[in-house]
């Protein structure tokens, strides 16, 4: 297995461990992740009109995603606690889905990447939308959560190919 493809969180004896990033140089690192939540058209209209019983679904989900990015190391074993310099969560209605599309962008200057923080932000934002609108639509479906792009670090830049 090449240096680039081996699992960095697994020791030679198969034990999980946190990677030592102490000797790595600091670089600007940005990650963008996306996902969506499908729902009935009526549920989407209810959310976009601001008429959900629990309140502002989009605003609350955006805040939940930001908070989740900041807490990723508390949720995902072996993730380093990071001092993030930017987290943004954008949520847009999509009638073709129908549902909401969620995109998170996370940035820092540091020794390790922010892919997990961006993915966690999207996941928790989608879960929050589900929680706040489940009274209207229990059949909602979360999906498509994936890394779109990342920059910085030893492994270089990555951009997901268009589907």
Distance CA 45, CA 37 (A): 14
Give which of 149, 143, 147 is closest to 129, Cα–Cα.
143
What's the half-sphere exposure (Cβ side, CA atoms, 13 Å) at 12?
A: 1
Peptide bond into 98 cis (omega under 30): yes
Q: For this structure, is 131 an active site residue?
A: yes
Distance CA 7, CA 134 (A): 38
Cβ contact 35:142 at 8 Å: yes
Residue of 131, 137, 157, 163 marked active site: 131
Q: What 3-state class would DSSP assign to 72?
A: helix
Active-site residues, by number, are 131
């Amino acid at each position: 297995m090449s240096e680039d493809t081996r699992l960095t969180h697994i020791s030679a004896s198969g034990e999980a461990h946190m990677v030592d990033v102490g000797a790595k140089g600091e670089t600007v690192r940005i990650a963008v992740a996306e996902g969506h939540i499908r729902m009935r058209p009526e549920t989407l209209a209810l959310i976009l009109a601001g008429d959900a019983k629990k309140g502002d679904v989009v605003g609350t989900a955006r805040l939940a995603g930001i908070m989740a990015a900041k807490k990723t190391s508390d949720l995902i074993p072996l993730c380093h606690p990071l001092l993030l310099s930017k987290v943004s969560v954008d949520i847009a209605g999509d009638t073709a889905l129908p549902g909401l599309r969620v995109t998170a962008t996370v940035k820092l200057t540091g020794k390790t990447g922010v892919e997990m923080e961006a993915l966690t932000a999207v996941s928790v934002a989608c879960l929050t939308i589900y929680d706040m609108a489940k009274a209207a639509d229990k059949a909602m479906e979360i999906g498509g959560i994936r890394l779109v792009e990342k920059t910085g670090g030893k492994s270089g830049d990555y951009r997901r190919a268009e589907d």
